Amino acid sequence: MTGGDSATPQPKRGQAGWQDPGPRDVLRDRQNPDLLTPPTTDAGTLPNLRFSFSDAHTRVQRGGWTREVTVRELPIATELCGVDMALEPGAYREMHWHKQSEWAYVSHGGARISAVDQEGRNFLGDVRAGDLWFFPQGVPHHIQALDEGVEFLLVFDDGAFTENSTFLISDYFAHTPRDVLAKNFGWRPEQLDSIPEREKYIFAGEVPPPLDRDRVVSPTGDVPRTLSHRLLAQEPQRFPGGQVRIADVTRFAASTTICAALVEVDPGGMRELHWHPTDDEWQYYLSGHGRMGVFASQGVAGTFDMRAGDVGYVPFAYGHYIENLGTEPLVFLEMFRKPRFESVSLTQWMANTPPQVSADILNLPRELIEALPRDQRPVIR
């Protein structure tokens, strides 16, 4: 396309700017209009706060695929990282464990998950779209797709974590002498001739049987707190511009290092101006499209266009909003490396401060401040 094509977005605003004759990626410019022609309120330079899973390397194996967004892809995201993974019906994410805790959201299909803690107490359950799970650091677990297959988001409480550094049972066996394995399990060395020579990671399998047939009774009992949570079964907090479901330690007791909010913003609505007083925010966009405006103090602000499959990141205490620009709901997850969800509303702060203070600072009529709602309304129209 030429720079003069009327259908081609240009870095122009009124009399400012000029055409970009190329070379250029017009599709990318259409998807990111607030980078090509930022709002006049943007100022200074923020680090990149957005990365699409579509731009991440995909690891493809027999039975499924996986891709990740870590500090390697999004350097600002030091607190949390994410993995997008899909398994065909019956396929396994093999038995493994991590140094980091694992939080998950099922976006499609269903899976059987299991874990055994340090006291031998076990957990077995089936999760479906909209469900969560949480495996504490060091606790071994596995994932197997049910009859529809499954896709899920994994979030780890370390931005530098990579799926390639997990501790895999097949890899452990492959790198332990067979006579040691035989001695440990009470087997004969020749019974180990067919063990894997390297990690399996993801591999094809048969759809698991009904849950009761898979259950193993541990002599030490079940884990004391369920490791899965049906987020969509929670009654949402409803507001004129959308709704919010919060899953922190008060609702999902096992999830002690990561909490989350599932936010649905209606067309024309907005996740209000706010900030988080305790931690960075890692986002995952499930559907729709919109834009995120971020204020970093010192006169620095930037705007980022967000779509389904994108990861967003907001550093600790940065003010921000997320606006739905489409005709369908904008649905996304906000995640934090903390057990409890905490947010400061700009509106609520102003409404609960003596009104003349805000009126004098902002050169506004006092009655505008007095009319503000004093309760927090995370999503507005």
Tokens of 177: 């002498």
CB–CB of 290/322 below 8 Å?
A: yes
CA angle centred on 265, ends 82 and 29, rounded to 5°: 65
The separation between CA 353 and the C-alpha centre of its own chain, rounded to angstroms, equals 34
Q: How far apart are CA 122 and CA 210, in angstroms?
A: 17
Catalytic residue among 68, 264, 272, 334: 334
Q: How far apart are CA 56 and CA 333, in angstroms?
A: 19
Please report where in the chains the tokens 């980091």 appear, as a residue. Answer: 100
Q: How far apart are CA 155 and CA 163, in angstroms?
A: 11
DSSP 160: T
Instruction: Pick left, alpha or beta for residue 17 (phi over 0 → left; psi -120 to 50 → alpha; otherwise beta).
Output: left
Q: Which residues contact 159 (CB under 8 A, 6 or more apart)?
A: 70, 71, 77, 78, 79, 80, 81
Instruction: Compute φ and ψ for 155, nearest 5 degrees.
Output: -125, 130
Strand partners of residue 283: 312, 334
Active site residue 334: yes
141 is in an annotated binding site: yes
The catalytic residue positions are: 334
> Which parts are annotated binding residues?
96, 98, 102, 141, 274, 276, 281, 320
